[in-house]
Amino acid sequence: MDKSGEVEKMTEEQWQAILQNDAAYNEKFFYAVKTTGIFCRPSCKSKAPNRENARIFQNAEQALESGFRPCKRCKPTGERLPDKEWVAVMTEYIDKHYHEPLTLETLAEVCHGSPYHLHRTFKKVMGITPADYIQQKRIDQASEYLVTTDRDVADIGLHVGLPNTSYFITLFKKKTGLTPTKYRQLNKLELTNHSELFMEVQKNGL
Residues annotated as catalytic are 40
Contacts of 3 (CB under 8 A, 6+ apart): none
CA distance 34 to 194: 43
Kindly provide the residue ranges of all beta strands, DSSP E only, lying in the chain, ordered along the sequence: 30-33, 38-40, 54-57, 69-70
Strand partners for 69: 38
38 beta partners: 33, 69
Helix/strand/coil percentages in the chain, nearest 5: 55, 5, 35
State the amino acid at position 37 in one-letter form: G
d(CA 160, CA 98): 7
Nearest to 28 by CA among 76, 78, 70: 76
